[in-house]
Amino acid sequence: MNYKQIKVIGVALIVTILTCSKPVFAKTYYVDVKGSDSNKGTKELPWQTLNKALTSVASEQGNTIKLGNGNFDLTGVVLIPSGINIIGSGTNNTIIQGEMKLVRVKNTSIKNLSLNGKSYAYKVGSYIRDSENLNISNLAVNGYAIQAFDIQRVKNSKFYNMRIADSSFNKRIAGGGGQQSYTITIGNLTNVDLYNIIIDTTARGGAGIGSANDAWPKKTPWSGQPGVFRNLKLYNLDIKVDKWNAWGNGWTPQMALEFWHHNCFNCQIFNSTFNSTVSLFSFPTDKPTQIQVYNNLWYGPNNPFYACEVASDNIELYQNYIRGGSYPIAQFGYNYKNLNVHHNIFERTGTPTLVAHFLGKISNFRFTQNTVYFNNLNNNLFYFQKGEEANQKISNNIFYNTSSSGKNSLGAAVGVSNNLFVNLKPSGKQAMNFDPKLALSGEKPFPYYKPQSGSRAVNLGAILANQKMWNVGYDDQRTEKKP
């Protein structure tokens, strides 16, 4: 074979390869209430229904369906194809009524629209399973009978910029036997962010965000294997729930956020506001779990919440501001370890004022550099029902009782050192008793709890004299940017 023959064959081969591998370009299709489903779905000749678009647009090609103004009723539960984008004209303009089901989809986004349950005619706004690379954002959700989202076995995805209301229920029965739902159910998530989300359940009651697992037995879910949250972040949330939970005897505080029966590996909860309880519960494990809870605000003046249930290993709580409620930190269970509580502000909480450990001891408990501001006449600040572990540490805190006639005691004896007591009997090693000269004016918590110039509380409490401001809670000025 000579050179010219080789050259001809080579050129022919290249042409064949280019022809066979012709790229598929994503297309944009249009839907408008004034269109017709007999049209071609172009901008000039849009379809009329989203259902027509969903059954006509090719999946897995990155195609986009753009929705105009108006109501689009799905008339039931509709499967969303994989690899498409559904983009509305804004939450006040594009309203989808019905239920979206995303199962085994990837590279899919839903943005800029409202999901409406049509006055509870529809049960769940969006049911999501076994999916990845989702971008669900800029949504308003309301009026669903059971919940807004049911999300399980999802990875590498984001859910953000949402306002969700009236999409849960609470049929509480005092004494027990009631039922309720979460606004958002999550389970077995990996590399998932939920942020910039406002939830309000007060219309019909119900919890905020909570966990579930399809694999758990329905009657005895605690007997199933724990679920897994890995690299899960929840931040810039504003969750308002009703007062009482339907669980148990109907007299437990409602759950704003609940990680139940899930092992958490590198999970974070931050920059959020809760008016009721955050519960972090999983059975003890030898696996290296980790949960960080920081820069949050708890404030629900009419709710008897305990701010955080810490029934899991390796929890760190710091730079939080807890205002009111009953006991702010509670551990129900046995054999937990490594609870680190530092640089938090506790203001006028209930009884016990600080930490309550029920049922079992906790190993390597740390309570350091906190400011505790209270007016409680008769109760201990700590309550260890089963006693204290030898490796406990309680140090460099400010315990500030606003009442000079207080009868409190610390309620702790092991590892207590270098704490400041105001209107409270000093205890432990190197105990101090002087006025820390906190500002006690201005915005809370900063600079309200910052020591003034000349204070002797140089290395005590949550906010140091030379420390820069740290913020707590939900901020409606925040954008999608990750911290």
d(CA 465, CA 456): 10
Q: Which one, of 481, 478, 3, lies nearest residue 237 by Cα?
A: 478
| Beta-bridge mates of residue 355 | 329, 382
- Alpha-carbon distance of 420 to 460, in angstroms, equals 8
- Which secondary-structure segment (H or E) carries 26? none
In order of 145, 168, 460, the CA distances from 180 in angstroms are 11, 7, 43
Residue with tokens 């209930």: 350
Q: Which amino acid is at 289?
A: T
pLDDT averaged over every residue in the chain: 92
* Residue 469 pLDDT exceeds 60: yes
Residue 45 CA to residue 43 CA, distance in Å, equals 6
Prediction pTM value: 0.92
Query: What is the pLDDT at residue 24?
Result: 63
Q: How far apart are CA 211 and CA 157, in angstroms?
A: 17
Q: 446: which DSSP letter?
A: T
**Model pLDDT, residue 480:** 52
User: What tens digit of pLDDT does each residue of 47-89 get?
Assistant: 999 999 999 999 999 999 999 999 999 999 999 999 999 999 9
Please, which pLDDT band fits residue 246 given cuts at 50, 70 and 90?
very high
From start to end of 7-69, where are the E strands?
28-31, 63-67
> 294-337: per-residue pLDDT in tens?
999 999 998 989 899 999 999 999 999 999 988 899 988 888 99
316 strand-pairing partners: 292, 340
The pLDDT of residue 16 is above 60: no
CB 372 within 8 A of CB 344: no
Nearest CA to 384 among 417, 359, 409?
Answer: 359
Query: How far is the C-alpha of 37 from the C-alpha of 48, rounded, in Å?
Result: 5
Would strands 252-253 and 244-245 be described as parallel, antiparallel, or unpaired? antiparallel
- Dist. CA 280–CA 286, nearest whole Å: 17
| Local confidence band at 406 (pLDDT 50, 70, 90 cut-offs) | low
Q: Are 274 and 308 in contact (CB under 8 A)?
A: no
Report the pLDDT averaged over residues 79-107: 98
Q: Which of 64-73, 202-211, 276-285 has the lowest mean pLDDT?
A: 276-285
Q: Which element (helix H / strand E) includes 53?
A: helix 50-56
Residue 165 confidence class, pLDDT cut points 50, 70, 90: very high
327 is written with which tokens? 């006991």
Segments of 434-473 assigned E as strands: none
H or E segment at 17?
Answer: helix 3-20
* Amino acid of residue 460: L
CA dist., res. 114 & res. 135, Å (int): 15
